[in-house]
Amino acid sequence: MSIFSKDQTKKVVVNAENHGYKPATVTFKQGKPAQLKFISSNNMGCMNEVVFKELGIDEKLDGKKEVTIDIPTDKPATYNYACGMDMFHGKVVVK
């Protein structure tokens, strides 16, 4: 791996109207710093909160255009996340 390897940044659009995350699955390469940006829209309802249980992350999106979450990439993993009521789901894959 190059010591000049770049950070990885990807975006997920939170679509409250269709109750979905786009894309629903985001993949990062192992071993490089990774950031996932959640882009929110209006009238978010319970989607104004994003919860990564395994990572102990619980972030409010409401009122912010963009919220950045640091994803650990030290090992291959799948991190599931959900809205504040655990109704809508997405995942982050590190491989």
Residue with tokens 């995350």: 21
Report, in Å, the least distance between residue 49 CB and Cu ion: 8
Q: Which two tokens stand for residue 63?
A: 């009122």
Closest approach of Cu ion to the CB of residue 35, in Å: 24
* Cβ at position 45, least distance to Cu ion in Å: 7
Secondary structure (3-state) at 48: helix
CA angle (57, 18, 68) in 5-degree steps:
30
Q: Least CB distance from residue 62 to Cu ion, whole Å?
A: 13
57 binds Cu ion (CB under 5 A): no
The count of chain residues that interact with Cu ion, using the rule CB under 5 A, is 4
What Rg do the C-alpha atoms of the chain give, in angstroms?
A: 13
Nearest to Cu ion of 71, 83 (CB atom): 83
Q: Are the beta carbons of 65 and 28 closer than 8 angstroms?
A: no
According to CB under 5 A, which residues from 65 to 94 bind Cu ion?
Answer: 83, 85, 87
Residues that bind Cu ion (CB under 5 A): 46, 83, 85, 87
